[in-house]
Amino acid sequence: MPVVQIEKAALCQCLNRKDFTDDEVDELCFEFGLELDEVTSEREMLAKEQGDAKAAQMGDQLSDAVIYKIEVPANRYDLLCVEGLSRALMVFQSLAQPPLYKAVQPAAGMKQMRVAPSTAQIRPYVVCAMLRNLSFTPASYKSFIDLQDKLHQTICRQRSLVAIGTHDFDTLTGPFLYEALPPSDIVFKPLNQTKEFSAVELMQLYSGESHLKAYLPIIRDSPVYPVIKDANGVVLSMPPIINGDHSKITLNTKNVFIEATATDAHKASVVLDTLVCAFSQYCSEQFTVEAVQVNYPDGRASIYPSLAYRQVDIQVDYLRKGVGRSDSQLTIDEICNRLTRMCLVAKATSDATVSVTVPPTRHDVLHPCDVLEDLAIAIGYNNLEMSLPPTLCTGKQQPLNSLTDKLRLEVAFAGFTECLTFALCSEKDISERLRLPLDSLPAVRIANPKTLEFQVARTSLLPGILKTVHSNRSLPLPLKLFEIQDVVYKSTDSSGSAVNSRQLAAVYYGKSSGFELIHGLMDRIMQVLGVPVDQYKLSATEVATYFTGRCANVLYKGSSVGTIGVLHPETLAQFDLTLPASAFVFDVEKFL
């Protein structure tokens, strides 16, 4: 979950509570669905990252003011900055009314953004907006940059879906053009550089920059790169990589031009709404944003930001039942009041329905159930009256799991100890180390393992048990181990799926091979499974895992359900084992 930092003093001020304690803040966060992750300060954070000595050395440059690190839910983009978070809490505490955000079209006409057809090849959408007469403070400026960064990391999926560029409008001249050009045709001075580079050079330059190199693959292999220019050909940005230096915003910027390019038009609009809603409070005309017109090649014109307010009519009965309260316990007025505290302005439209206005900050509201959750939060989850569901059912086990548990007990009764090993392992574990060719195994292969230990799903329980023997070879001998778990096989049909198979494997490891003991355990298992003696027998075979002439198929009703034998000395060597061992492996599901 994303984390937002907010100074205690700022939070106290907006919540009008000078004496707020950390516990009270924690409590408020908990109630609202946030998590107070850490109480810290600039100095403490630096000390944690770079050591106490460094923090001490910085002296007065670091502030000791208390900072709260607050985790916000992953779908609440509106809470990703101090502005949005504190406003939501103010409204929740009934200290403010939900603001009314407006997109206005200037009398002199809207600024224009023309989209060239070439962008369809790489990044087809752009949305724009203008924040007029804005005054930044150092804190709000930093927050503005931070929010863009947080949006890039979350809803924008590391800029792949949406990339935001913000510009000092007073350095630019409209109308603007969004096009896609061959990399060598894009030449400009990028942010914080002193000279011009071509896009080709930039890709080279940034391949060594830790914070930018992750974004390069989004466009690198495309024949054309997206670029936004003003009427004089000044480059605003080359999304999703870098902005131009010419139009960069500063603390003194008054008019901020925002563009967001995207592969997903809806998300671009959500991102733009989120950004302008949070920062329009610093405009001379609060909560008001100047609209920009985007003209697509097919003649379609769209006006952004959308800042749409959506009306949802909800049955009061649905809300009452959802929180388990009757008409008298929860009046329509109370419902409306409580929803308003969640920034969802609600009005009764009849005795039976409320009309809820979903603001442009609440793109997380998709369905009345989202409104229901907000109502429950406003009432307080822990104020709801618990009751048991009236659902009467009979408990029932899966037959396979029931059989498994009974077998586990029997094998443990027989003196064997249960291991629990991983379902994922290396290719080598199931092939080379068991002396089996990899291509003979129906193994499920993992595409993106972080280590060699997760290359495949296991096709045998033996490697896990033998590794366990290896880690425990200093214990008194003999070691008698077993495991009953699932292995996974690729389906043989064309379904493209895979199946689990419940297996039982046991290993005896000691001074002698102990085959008669492993054989005895198999006999015992057949006995407790109620298998008549004439339905079960061992029949000599050769499997490379086992020693030549010391391996048999376990036949049940004439077909093989597993193998048993003395392990091959080279199998033992693969697991770095120096003493002999016997083992069996068989399919439990055959006995269901």
Partner 1 sequence: MEDLRSNILAYIDKHETCSSTELCKEMNVEHQKIVGALNSILAFGEIISAQPEVTSRLELTDEGRQVADHGSHEAVLFASVPAGDGAPQSELMKSVPNAKIGFSKALANRWIRLDKSAPGGPRVYRQVESVSDRIRHCLQMVAALSLDSLTAEERAELKKRKLVQEGRVTVYRVAKGPAFTLTLAKEETELTAEMLATGVWQTLTFKAYNFKALGQQPDCGHLHPLLKVRAEFRQIFLEMGFQEMPTNRYVESSFWNFDALFQPQQHPARDAHDTFFLTEPAACRLDAEQADGYLARVKAVHSNGGYGSIGYNYDWKESEAQKNILRTHTTAVSARMLYQLAQQPQFQPTKYFSIDRVFRNESLDATHLAEFHQIEGLVADYNLNLCHLMGIIREFFHKLGIRRLRFKPAYNPYTEPSMEIFSYHEGLGKWVEIGNSGVFRPEMLLPMGLPESVSVIAWGLSLERPTMIKYGINNIRDLIGPKVDLKMVSVGPICRLDK
Q: Residue 480 has which token pair?
A: 């008698």
Query: Which CB atom, from 53 or from 447, has the smaller least distance to partner 1?
Result: 447
Closest distance to partner 1 from the beta carbon of 265 (Å): 8
CB burial class (10 A; 0-12, 13-18, 19+) of residue 464? buried
> Rg of the chain over CA atoms, in angstroms?
33
Q: Which of 150, 229, 433, 502 binds partner 1 (CB under 8 A)?
A: 502
Q: Phi and psi for 518 in degrees, rounded to 5?
A: -65, -40
Query: Which CB atom, from 53 or from 388, has the smaller least distance to partner 1?
Result: 388
Q: Which of 8, 37, 73, 222 binds partner 1 (CB under 8 A)?
A: 73
| Residue 322 interacts with partner 1 (CB under 8 A): yes or no | yes
| Residue 438 interacts with partner 1 (CB under 8 A): yes or no | no
Site for partner 1 in 236-295 (CB under 8 A): 264, 266-267
| Residue window 22-61: x/- pattern of binding to partner 1, with contact defined by CB under 8 A | --------xxxx-x--------------------------
Q: How far apart are the first and last CA of the chain?
A: 44
Q: Which of 338, 362, 433, 467 binds partner 1 (CB under 8 A)?
A: 467
Q: Which of 488, 528, 538, 555 binds partner 1 (CB under 8 A)?
A: 488
Q: Which of 25, 316, 443, 504 binds partner 1 (CB under 8 A)?
A: 443
- Of 304, 256, 262, 260, the closest CA to residue 283 belongs to 256
Q: Residue 70 has which token pair?
A: 């607050």
Query: Which CB atom, from 168 or from 373, has the smaller least distance to partner 1?
Result: 373
Query: Which of 141-149, 169-177, 239-247, 404-412 is the region at the interface with partner 1 (rule: CB under 8 A)?
Result: 404-412
Q: Which of 393, 437, 533, 592 binds partner 1 (CB under 8 A)?
A: 393
Q: Which residues of 109-137 are buried (b: 16+ CB within 10 A; e: fewer)?
A: ebbbbebbebbeebbbbbbbbbbbebebe
| Residue 415 interacts with partner 1 (CB under 8 A): yes or no | yes
Q: Tokens 């927050």 — which residue?
A: 143
| Residue 390 interacts with partner 1 (CB under 8 A): yes or no | yes
| Residue 349 interacts with partner 1 (CB under 8 A): yes or no | no
CA distance 323 to 99: 27
| Residue 480 interacts with partner 1 (CB under 8 A): yes or no | yes
- Of 144, 245, 117, the closest CA to residue 189 belongs to 245
* 470 close to 480: Cβ distance less than 8 angstroms: no
Task: Give the CA distances from residue 384 to residues 155, 321, 325, 375, 381, in Å, rounded to whole numbers and listed in that order.
Answer: 33, 12, 9, 11, 6
| Residue 310 interacts with partner 1 (CB under 8 A): yes or no | yes
* 363 close to 270: Cβ distance less than 8 angstroms: yes
Q: Which of 7, 44, 196, 370 binds partner 1 (CB under 8 A)?
A: 370
| Residue 436 interacts with partner 1 (CB under 8 A): yes or no | no
| Residue 448 interacts with partner 1 (CB under 8 A): yes or no | yes
* 62 close to 42: Cβ distance less than 8 angstroms: yes
Site for partner 1 in 119-148 (CB under 8 A): none
Q: Residue 67 has which token pair?
A: 């900072």
| Residue 511 interacts with partner 1 (CB under 8 A): yes or no | no
| Residue 307 interacts with partner 1 (CB under 8 A): yes or no | no
